[in-house]
Homo-oligomer: A and B are copies of this chain.
Amino acid sequence: MRKVVKKQVLLQGNEACVEGALMAGCRFYAGYPITPATEIMEIMAEKMPETGGVFIQMEDEIASLGAVIGASLAGMKSMTATSGPGFSLMQEHIGFAGMAEVPCVIVDVMRAGPSTGLPTQLSQGDVMQARWGTHGDHPIIVLAPSSVYEFFELTVQAFNLSERYRTPVILLVDEVVAHMREGVILPAKNSLEIEERPHPTVPPEWYIPYADPGTGVPPMPAFGDGYRYHVTGLYHDVRGYPTVRTDEVEPLIHRLFTKISKDFDRLQWFDAFETEDARVTVIAYGCVARAAHRAVRQAREKGLKVGLIKLKILWPFMRRTISGILANSQKVLVPELNVGQISREVKRVNESRCEVVTLNKVDGTPIKPAEILQKLGEIYS
């Protein structure tokens, strides 16, 4: 392949998200406007018809995710984007997508909550909601970018994971990452690996829609492909038909979890800076990770042995990676734009290996490098 030297382009985070979706093969967008996610919808309104895809503005967020799931069942890679209040409304359908194993991507550009909160201000308050917002036991995948490029990249990956595991994937983005502009170099069209949901290889007569092919992820035809099957939010047997039999229910729930958890090793996505000899490690994500990056640099300049782990996947929680960090650091610092959400998880997996320190801000403004630097200074010993 001839390598073309590509030039930087100036993109807003939300624009980069759309670019990522297009590159991943997204061909259906349904949404409802809400600050600070609206740009994604508006750009999609322009881009979808150009790419032969479908854009539709629905009557609310519930309808938006309903349409997205429908379109995905009809074979299109589909997504929607919203913010806190709309994300709360989508919870029932997120559970449906999980249960019926319908790939789809949901962007939540977080704004300060609870409730209407501060629509234009910064927050990372929906981290736990993204994991636990819908009722009942369910696994979920949640990605969190910290730069415009990463928003692009993780959007592509969100589609990939969603297709690979037949599961809804959530992109949890803060207002800074969504609205800032950075220069990015977008990769060439074919340079990224794009994954597609597994398709049945057997003829329709042999197709058993929810039987485990070994990977935990049953092949998925599109409605209209000739594989007529039944999709439901009820507990179902391998054919998709409702069941209350414990010997059918239990394996289903088990499979929903293990299809993802068996790949935990593959799902440790992070960037590490200077962690090898770090006595204090910062664990951060989203725009806070950027502040932490600078703070760590500044601290190193001063001779402090500190490092940074920037999480790109928030859920499933990277127990493995974090455990390693906790084992090697004396202290970890978890700065967050909430009252402490990921820090709870860090504590959970900590098992008193080291001291977990938090730094929290909930007034709608960013955590600055100086604040992290100061905290690092305080706890460094």
Residues of A bordering B, CB below 8 Å:
62, 84-85, 87-89, 91-92, 95-96, 98-100, 108, 110, 112-121, 123, 125-126, 128-129, 131-138, 232-235, 244, 246, 249-250, 253, 257, 338-339, 341, 344-345, 347-353, 362-365
Contact A135 B116 (CB under 8 A): no
Closest to A360 in B: B137
Contact B136 A84 (CB under 8 A): yes
- The listed residue with most B CB atoms (<10 A of its CB), out of A89, A129, A138, A246, is A129
Return the 9 tightest CB-CB contacts between A and B, nearest first: A113-B136, A115-B233, A84-B135, A114-B136, A95-B114, A99-B115, A116-B233, A246-B363, A128-B132
A344 to B110, CA, bound (A): 25
Q: How far is the CB of A212 from chain B (nearest CB, A)?
A: 17
Residues of B within 8 A of A362 (CB): 137, 249-250, 253
**In-complex Cβ contact of A135 among B129, B138, B253 (8 A):** B129
Pairs across A and B, CB under 8 Å, 26 listed:
A84-B136, A85-B95, A88-B134, A89-B92, A96-B115, A99-B114, A99-B117, A110-B135, A112-B249, A113-B138, A115-B134, A116-B232, A116-B234, A123-B136, A125-B137, A128-B128, A133-B133, A137-B339, A246-B364, A250-B362, A250-B363, A344-B348, A347-B348, A347-B349, A350-B351, A351-B351
Contact A137 B113 (CB under 8 A): yes
Contact (A114, B89) CB under 8 Å given A249-B364, A257-B339: no
A137 to B341, CA, bound (A): 9
A108 to B136, CA, bound (A): 12
Contact A114 B137 (CB under 8 A): yes
Contact (A126, B135) CB under 8 Å given A351-B350, A352-B351, A364-B246: yes
**In-complex Cβ contact of A114 among B108, B120, B135, B339 (8 A):** B135
- The listed residue with most B CB atoms (<10 A of its CB), out of A95, A125, A250, is A95
A72 to B137, CA, bound (A): 32
Q: How far is the CB of A261 from chain B (nearest CB, A)?
A: 10
